Amino acid sequence: MKNYLHSMFVLSAIAIFPVLLNAQTAQKLLPAPLLLMDNFFSHHVLVAEKSTHLLHLYKNNEGLPELVRSYQMATGKKPGDKEAEGDFRTPEGIYNFVDFLNYKQLLAQSGPQSVIYGAGAFVMDYPNPIDKILKKTGSGIWLHSTNDETRIDKGLDSRGCVVTANNELIDLSKYLELNKTPIIIVQDLVYLNEKTFETQKNDLKQVLESWLTAWRNKEIEGYMSNYHPVEFTDSKGKFAQYKAYKKAVFSNPGRPKIDLDFISIMQAKNYAVITFTQKYQSNTINDTGRKILYLRQDASYKWKIVNEVWTKHGLENIDKVAFEPSLRFFKEGSLDSVEFKKGNN
């Protein structure tokens, strides 16, 4: 009888264990940086994870990130976040690609030594407004390939750039658009359960909604409560100067009509970025452009705007139905030429 009961206990435990295991593994984990994706400014996003030397490509799936594939990469020769010009570190944060240089353009710009950049280079907007607030220096941070692909296996082997193999740069380039495909560089990619993911996303959405409502209603105190009183700065000056400017604007008759679309929300280790199209109509202005809000947490861990960037640039093809991957930066058969593989690293 004892043996029978023992056998039944073991069989029951075996039967129950997979159920418990499935309940644990079924919990969906999502990459923390990609809180909200959209079909225009973040149809695809790259996440470079320095600790694993992997460059992850995600696509938008109804606002949520879906992994497409991962590429091997190399980063700066020195570990850690970039602080200064020439420190051989790769910066950590959220960046946009603002230009692309093909092999011939690199050759014209840098001469024979440009062979180290391989088939081409995507230029990042480092230093971005957050980097400038933090007094970081340096420039020329790119995503590029190389003429010596043994560098990729070393992991830490660049002057600060993100480096991939030629074939892989050309492959991932199909999913990139200038000013529309962010790259987020992290030391370790953190994953969140769905509840925490939604909470962090909603915290930032609430700031955006509070900011927009106060702007529409011309409530200066409510509007400025969304800005960081110490760290905020833009072309109008610091917090006090910006408040005076907006107060004068709000004194104009009538309420503006403001509509936002294509909202994306990304976060790094110490800041967040909200990007969207903004259509503004008032008695005197009728404008549509791209706005980027950079936010940091204050002493009470509340998200506050520290910088905002508005531009009309980057809204080409806004009415296009869907993004289609294509070799827009490289021509078919571009690797048939071995010119960029010549030379020494």
Burial status of residue 180 (CB atoms within 10 A of its CB: 0-12, 13-18, 19 or more)? buried
Contacts with 35 (C-beta within 8 Å, 6 or more apart), sequence order: 197, 200, 201, 204, 265, 266, 267, 272
Whether 270 shows a pLDDT value over 90: the answer reads yes
Q: What digits encode the pLDDT tens for the residues 326-340?
A: 999 997 545 544 455
* Confidence band for 273, pLDDT divided at 50, 70 and 90: very high
Whether 319 shows a pLDDT value over 90: the answer reads no
Share of the chain above pLDDT 90, in %: 81
Q: Rounded distance, CA 247 to CA 224, Å?
A: 10
The order of strands in the sheet holding 97-102 is 97-102, 120-124, 142-144, 162-163
Place of tokens 């107060």: 247
pLDDT attached to residue 104: 93
* Confidence band for 26, pLDDT divided at 50, 70 and 90: low
Q: Which domains does the chain have, with CATH numbers?
A: 39-191+325-341 (2.40.440.10), 193-311 (3.10.450.50)
Which whole number is the average pLDDT over 282-290? 91
> Which three-class secondary structure state does DSSP give residue 109?
helix
* Confidence band for 17, pLDDT divided at 50, 70 and 90: very low
Share of the chain above pLDDT 70, in %: 87
Q: What digits encode the pLDDT tens for the residues 164-222?
A: 999 999 999 999 999 999 999 999 999 999 999 999 999 999 999 999 999 999 999 99
Burial status of residue 335 (CB atoms within 10 A of its CB: 0-12, 13-18, 19 or more)? middle
Whether 295 shows a pLDDT value over 70: the answer reads yes
Q: What digits encode the pLDDT tens for the residues 113-148?
A: 999 999 999 999 999 999 999 999 999 999 999 999
CB atoms within 10 A of CB 299: 6
More confident of the two residues 13 and 154: 154
* Confidence band for 343, pLDDT divided at 50, 70 and 90: very low
pTM: predicted TM-score of the whole model, two decimal places: 0.89
What are the respective helix, strand and coil percentages of the chain, to the nearest 5? Answer: 30, 30, 40
Q: What digits encode the pLDDT tens for the residues 223-256?
A: 999 999 999 999 899 999 999 999 999 999 999 9
> Which three-class secondary structure state does DSSP give residue 308?
strand
Q: Rounded distance, CA 220 to CA 257, Å?
A: 16
Q: Which long-range contacts (CB under 8 A, 24 or more apart) does 58-67 make?
A: 58/31, 58/34, 59/175, 61/37, 63/36, 63/37, 63/38, 64/30, 64/34, 64/37, 65/30, 65/31, 65/34, 65/37
- Provide Rg for the chain, Cα atoms: 24
Q: Rounded distance, CA 122 to CA 135, Å?
A: 24
